[in-house]
Structure 1
Amino acid sequence: MTAKPNILFIMADQLRADYLACNGHPSIRTPHIDALAARGINFTRAYCQAPVCGPSRMSFYTGRYAASHGASYNNVPLRVDERTLGDHLRPHGYRVALVGKTHMKRDDEGMAHLGISPDSSRGVLVSQCGFEPFERDDGLHPDQSADPDLRYNQYLRCQGYDSRNPWHDYANSAEDDDGNILSGWHMRHCHRPIRVREEHSETAYTTNRAMDFIDEAGDTPWCLHLSYIKPHWPYMAPAPYHNMYGQEDIPHAIRSEQERVAPHPVVDAFMQHSESREFARDEVRQRVIPTYMGLITQLDDHIGRLMGFLEERGQLDNTLIVVTSDHGDYLGDHWLGEKELFHESSARIPMIVVDPRHEADATRGTRDERLVEAIDLVPTFIDAASGNSKALDHRLEGRSLQPVVNGQSGEWRTHAFSESDYAWRPARLALQLPPDQAKAYMVTDGRWKYIHYEQHRPQLFDLQNDPEELHDLVPDKAHDEVCRRMEATLYDWCRERKLRVTVSNQRIESNTDTAHQRGYLFGIW
């Protein structure tokens, strides 16, 4: 064990927290992720800071809330001046790389203003969210405008899959009984196997590239963000994972008729989205969810393969490992599809931390119910790299998990927060809101979950007595005092955003009330 452990930061896109066996799923098989939970600490009440890909990941990578970094939705650029994980770890001697997805949109306007070329060494890092892009793959699209030169497309063509866009035509499409190609973008086809062998699938390829990076890094301390696209849609899996599970393995839908009869206006607008209307149908859930589960078990098998690879290379006991997700997936819960709102199915994420150092032995194999946020990982990694995250407390808004992982007692946060900017979604048009008013905020103290909607009434759920969040307590007005208290907490949080990022708090402390000593003789008679 060296002083600076390697860091393996694994993220699975759209992986629900409750779709792991170690988190209570009754039928899914995830033995390798379960083994990591047994080796580390499983944070069972972790929340993303924005339940949609782009802003959630920008919060993961900056250690800051979406309200602070400003990249509030997919394809909203992350400002060129925001510091990310790579900026914090490279000064400590780490090679910080990406294999997989970031969903980051670069700030072209900001780079042009500063004269930074995207092709320069600095420009590449700024363009790739601070990561060395060892293998970036954000997923593609079904049309011919998709990038034919993406490495995964090149790889598939080398394996004999002849197409301009084999990502779509083979890796995310199936065939019917007559050999006709069936696009995976149509969920009715997701029970059929994709047209590539399992060893050529996205998940297998991404794992292979992670191994390539680890071999290339050698003895240099490294931080690898291994970011899998699956189980995110298109919900298409290779054989044998496509039919590994059946309807009998699907948990019941978390929803009630009352939610549909008298919905909150914003939730109702989301219920009218096409993905929600489809997932409200049992036929769709019964077709999609077994494949979603198969994709998770495939992911688990490749994580197991990667753990074996690390052990063979003598790196397993020198690598800090995190397994998490950027957000969940409604899968028909609450009559909704996709994510973006704040029910547990969408906003809660898995968070497993395995620290091989002996200081973490006290928490090995434990479940921890403290409120954890995605923004906690950046300060955790800084501290693991022998840095000092507290010296960055003017910028970082997360809290290092290192003391918790090491079993140290002490004060912890009392609330967790998440945000939604749904300005680009049909719901905004249905609600007749201007773009800057299509916002919502969640705060929870573990017992109560309160949701503030701009221009609409709030929601309140009692997670202790109503863990499935089926009963909105606001309409009966019996919990007005709880609502006032949670709204005040949210107001305090809004005022506490760390926006003065160019001067550290330590520098301010050392310069406070020193004007006269520094020669500024104002206010003297």
Structure 2
Amino acid sequence: MNPPNLLLITVDQMRFDCLSALGHPVVETPNLDAMTSKGVLFPQAYSAVPSCIPARAAIMTGMSQRSHGRVGYQDQVPWRYTHMLAGELAQAGYHTQCVGKMHVYPARNLCDFHNIVLHDGYLHHNRDKRDTPFAEHFDQVDDYMRWLRREAGTEADLTDLGLDCNASTVGRPWHLPEALHPTNWCVTESIDFLRRRDPSKPFFLWSSFVRPHSPLDPPQAYFDLYKDLELPVPPIGDWVDKEAAALAGGADPTSTFGRLPKRRLDRARAAYYGLITHLDDQIGRLLQALGEYGVLNDTLILFTSDHGELMGDHLAFRKSLPYEGSAKIPLILWDPGGRFGLAAGSRPDTVVELRDIMPTLLEAAGAPIPASVEGASLLGPARGEAGARRSYLHGEHAYGDRSNHFVTDGREKYIWFSQSGEEQFFDLTVDPAELVDRAGDPARADRVALWRERLVRELEGREEGYVMEGRLVAGREPRACLSHIL
């Protein structure tokens, strides 16, 4: 049997619960729902470092954050990894292509792909000249922008709508024809790869979308789907400082905390949901093209997001925090041709993470898995096979005074804020929205102690000095990157 083609579809900043297959009260995702019913959905999937750069490091290296070294968000740190997913597949005879967002440095670093067609979205460090070894201007590194200016016949720019790339609290419709939207462009370029690929080789295509990451700019028809609906009220935990949120007020559209006027929040959520349904339709377009090219049944498809979006949960926005809306992600594995014997419609109750993507695709390809890979293939659980799996996941994010660590098995979650020493503990089985912090509950003291000890083991020996004499130490300076990759 010939090796399968591999299609990795990633979206940016999509919450785990924004699938109608999971019972979301308003979001419509018919194509992803169909993939869920025909494939395998992993309901306990997390991003261990929930922001763009470290999430992609996990995908491309199969390593934990301790090994790939990116434990927060820091641009302009060169990527120098010996074993990356595309390179291992190329050595195994695959034709490899990435379309869309890479978010590596330098921006045109191939990361062992044969070719990349790039759109990273708005990145502050390449919007003006910087004195760095790879001084990059967006005109040099963004293929979508050059295409857009040819197609639109104008000096179109990413800032034309007046929306910041991190404005998670402001939404409005896309102003140009839908075919020019970056989501459509990503699919158009992915389909073009199907046309020009080497037909004598299996292919690995990574279709990497920038949306639903802000700016929240769905085409008008998709904004209209949600703008007049009564949207569900975001959860607000009993532990949230509501007075501070009222003072913050969300005055800055890029704010990460604050209470917004309901009208503004509803418009932002309508735009966010509209982007997700738009993505779903465009993913359907890509799947249709796979069928038209006669390769759908020979292709293993994995869909996921790099991290979530709080979108008002606990009066917070964007990502980087340890709560479910930020750290938990959708992850679907679908084998249209049935060659891997996946248990269609199943939902394995095992905690999984982005580092598991590389070994999954390498196993499917029959390629060797490098010793540096710390993830585990998802094919066994997707077939319903019993076997040793990780019992919990350690996640973290350097984030100033809200720098945090969390450990979870998808049923319980312990959180430690490394600067203040504050602890939180949630029983996700009865409180999936994290409404009640039980860290101070005497009846949960043993569970809190168990999870705290697990975090101590994870952080033992870390260069930041988070652990001394077997205890967590608050106030140590967080670092976005560990020294071995700088």
Q: TM-score range by the shorter chain?
A: 0.7 to 0.9
Q: CA deviation at 1:207?
A: 0.4
Distance 1:210 1:494, change over 3 A: same
- TM-score using structure 1 length: 0.78
CA RMSD in angstroms comes to: 2.8
8 Å contact from structure 2 (residues 191, 286) kept in 1? yes
After superposition, the C-alpha distances for 1:315-361 in whole angstroms (9 at most, x for unaligned) are 00011101100000011101101110111101000000012453544
Q: CA deviation at 1:482?
A: 1.1
Distance 1:94 1:309, change over 3 A: same
2:178 is aligned, of 181, 194, 198, to 198
Q: CA deviation at 1:292?
A: 0.7
Aligned-partner Cα distance in 2 for 1:474–1:459: 5
Residues 1:417 and 2:399 are matched in the alignment: no
Distance 1:30 1:454, change over 3 A: same
2:206 is aligned, of 225, 231, 235, to 225
Distance 1:421 1:258, change over 3 A: closer
Q: CA deviation at 1:159?
A: 2.0
Question: Which amino acid counterpart does residue 244 of structure 1 have in structure 2?
Answer: L
8 Å contact from structure 1 (residues 420, 440) kept in 2? yes
Q: Secondary structure at the match of 1:367?
A: coil
2:404 is aligned, of 437, 440, 449, to 440
In terms of mean alpha carbon deviation, does 461-470 or 72-81 score higher?
A: 72-81
Q: Secondary structure at the match of 1:366?
A: coil
Aligned-partner Cα distance in 1 for 2:31–2:94: 27
Aligned-partner Cα distance in 2 for 1:50–1:299: 24
Q: Secondary structure at the match of 2:241?
A: helix
Aligned-partner Cα distance in 2 for 1:458–1:99: 41
8 Å contact from structure 2 (residues 45, 330) kept in 1? yes
Instruction: Choose between structure 1 and 2: higher helix proportion.
Output: 1
Aligned-partner Cα distance in 2 for 1:239–1:65: 40
8 Å contact from structure 1 (residues 104, 128) kept in 2? no
8 Å contact from structure 1 (residues 450, 483) kept in 2? yes
Q: CA deviation at 1:156?
A: 1.9
Q: CA deviation at 1:298?
A: 0.8
Q: CA deviation at 1:14?
A: 0.4
Aligned-partner Cα distance in 2 for 1:271–1:51: 22
Q: CA deviation at 1:276?
A: 3.1
Structure number with larger C-alpha Rg: 1
Distance 1:300 1:38, change over 3 A: same
1:162-201 equivalent positions in 2, closer than 5 A: 162-163=154-155, 165-169=156-160, 173=161, 182-183=162-163, 190-191=171-172, 193-201=173-181
Aligned to 2:22: 23
8 Å contact from structure 2 (residues 415, 425) kept in 1? yes
8 Å contact from structure 1 (residues 46, 348) kept in 2? yes
Aligned-partner Cα distance in 1 for 2:112–2:302: 19
1:5-20 equivalent positions in 2, closer than 5 A: 5-20=4-19
Question: Which amino acid counterpart does residue 415 of structure 2 have in structure 1?
Answer: I
1:453 is aligned, of 401, 417, 433, to 417
Q: CA deviation at 1:187?
A: 7.0
Q: Which runs of 5+ in 1 are unaligned?
A: 107-117, 119-123, 174-181, 423-427, 432-437, 498-525
Distance 1:439 1:198, change over 3 A: same
Aligned to 2:96: 96
Q: CA deviation at 1:215?
A: 1.6
- TM-score using structure 2 length: 0.84
Aligned-partner Cα distance in 2 for 1:340–1:322: 24
Distance 1:284 1:458, change over 3 A: same
In terms of mean alpha carbon deviation, does 447-456 or 322-331 score higher?
A: 447-456
Q: CA deviation at 1:284?
A: 2.4
Aligned to 1:176: none
Aligned to 1:407: 384
Q: Secondary structure at the match of 2:205?
A: strand
Distance 1:187 1:326, change over 3 A: closer
Q: Which runs of 5+ in 2 are unaligned?
A: 129-136, 463-486
